[in-house]
């Protein structure tokens, strides 16, 4: 029982990390990133390939320590985000979102088809889990929760500190009125790029946390629904522009997503077969109720700059 709760907390933390990163990009900077899954995936695969023992199935055999894996998982998405940023950040709002969605799809297809690199659709198995040999496997979750929770706290502190700094104020300025910020003499493009790269790195680390927990990764994990739109749902429900709200949202949405399965035990067998669709219904209802009653999310954002001028 408690073990399951621990595994729930771990997955919640991983999603919370990705959601925090999106919050930095969307909530604070106004970048509509519809390609979260791409950076999440890059982080996951980078760390998996760097740390995996030798195999003939895909590129690998580096067997590097996990710390290097995590560092790579931050670096590669960061560099890719930097390169993508040059063309993509010329776009604003919806067009930026569509460009990122296309990039996600492109990278996903690459991972699916370049078997020499990623083992294609089969995915990578046997990804090392830190200290798995030392710890009783039945209690491994507790240990991993420390890692995942620790990384979540680090990500939270880093993002909260940065958005509270003068740097973060400019980001908020951009999200609330880009032209106004531009006119104040700030180089908006450069700030957007920094926020985009920073967020993508955190998404990459979330990906690495996922693979070293499950010991497994395949392209199916990164379908747009579960990797991109799910994270968006968290941010919408939790509270756009509010880091704590986003963390609450991550655990709440994951609780509903996986908790609805337990309803199977209380309903007649005929309905039980349809419980999967009821879950989708639930999620839809939550989103609708949130938008109708609390469009700002569970916890609301602080509109510093706009309020200042009011």
- Which residues are near another protein by CB under 8 A? 1-5, 7-8, 11-12, 112-113, 120-123, 125-126, 129, 137-138, 140, 214-216, 218, 220-221, 223, 226, 242, 244-245, 247-248, 251-252, 255, 257-259, 261-262, 264-265, 269, 272-277, 279-280, 298-304, 307
Q: How far is the CB of 102 from another protein (least distance, A)?
A: 16
Q: How far is the CB of 253 from another protein (least distance, A)?
A: 9
Distance between first and last Cα of the chain:
51
Q: Choose between 169 and 244: whose C-beta lies nearer to another protein.
A: 244
Q: At its nearest, how many Å lie between another protein and the CB of residue 29?
A: 19
To another protein, the closest distance from the beta carbon of 187 in angstroms equals 28
Which C-beta is closer to another protein: that of 162 or that of 223? 223
Least distance CB 217 / another protein (angstroms): 8
| Nearer Cβ to another protein (88/246) | 246
Write the DSSP assignment of the chain as a string of letters.
-HHHHHHHHHHHHHHHHHHHHHIIIIIIT------HHHHHHHHHHHHHHHHPPP-SSSS------HHHHHHHHHHHHHHHHHHHHHHHTTS-HHHHHHHHHHHHHHHHHHHHH-HHHH-GGG-EE----TTTTTS-GGGHHHHHHHHHHHHHHHHHHHHHHHHHSHHHHHHHHHHH-HHHHHHTT--HHHHHHHHHHHHHHHHHHHHHHHHHHHSEE-GGGG-HIIIIIHHHHHHHHH-TT-HHHHHHHHHHHHHHHHHGGGGGGGS-HHHHTTHHHHHHHHHHHHHHHHHHH-TT-SSPPP-HHHHHH-
Closest separation in Å from C-beta 170 to another protein: 19
Residue 196 or residue 213: which is nearer to another protein going by CB? 213
Whole-number minimum distance, CB 214 to another protein, in Å? 6
CB closer to another protein, 86 vs 132: 132
User: Which residues, 6 or more positions from 14, have their beta carbon under 8 angstroms from its beta carbon?
Assistant: 148, 206, 209, 210, 213
Min dist. Cβ of residue 67 to another protein (A) = 22
Contacts of residue 4, Cβ cutoff 8 Å, sequence gap at least 6: none
Nearest to another protein of 78, 239 (CB atom): 239
- Looking at the DSSP bridge assignments, the partners of residue 124 are 217
């Amino acid at each position: 029982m408690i073990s399951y709760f621990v595994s729930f907390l771990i997955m919640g933390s991983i999603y919370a990390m990705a959601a925090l990163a999106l919050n930095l990009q969307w909530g604070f900077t106004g970048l509509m990133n519809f390609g979260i899954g791409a950076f999440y995936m890059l982080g996951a695969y980078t760390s998996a390939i760097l740390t995996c023992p030798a195999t003939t199935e895909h590129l690998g055999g580096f067997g590097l320590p996990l710390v290097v894996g995590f560092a790579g998982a931050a670096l590669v998405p960061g560099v890719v985000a930097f390169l993508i940023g040059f063309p993509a950040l010329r776009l604003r709002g919806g067009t930026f979102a569509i460009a990122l969605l296309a990039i996600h799809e492109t990278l996903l297809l690459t991972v699916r088809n370049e078997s020499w690199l990623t083992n294609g659709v089969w995915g990578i198995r046997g990804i090392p889990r830190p200290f798995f040999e030392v710890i009783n496997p039945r209690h491994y979750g507790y240990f991993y929760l420390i890692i995942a929770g620790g990384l979540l706290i680090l990500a939270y502190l880093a993002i909260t500190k940065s958005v509270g700094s003068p740097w973060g104020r400019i980001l908020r300025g951009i999200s609330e009125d880009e032209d106004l910020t531009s006119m104040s003499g700030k180089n908006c493009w450069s700030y957007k790029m920094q926020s985009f790269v920073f967020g993508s790195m955190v998404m990459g680390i979330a990906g690495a946390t996922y693979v070293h927990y499950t010991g497994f990764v395949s392209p199916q994990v990164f379908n747009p629904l579960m990797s991109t739109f799910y994270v968006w749902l968290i941010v919408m429900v939790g509270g756009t522009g509010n880091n704590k709200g986003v963390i609450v949202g991550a655990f709440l949405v994951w609780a509903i997503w996986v908790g609805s399965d337990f309803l199977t035990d209380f309903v007649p067998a005929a309905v039980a077969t349809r419980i999967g669709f009821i879950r989708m219904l639930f999620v839809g209802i939550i989103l609708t109720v949130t938008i109708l009653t609390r469009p700002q999310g569970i916890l609301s954002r602080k509109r510093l700059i706009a309020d200042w001028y009011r």
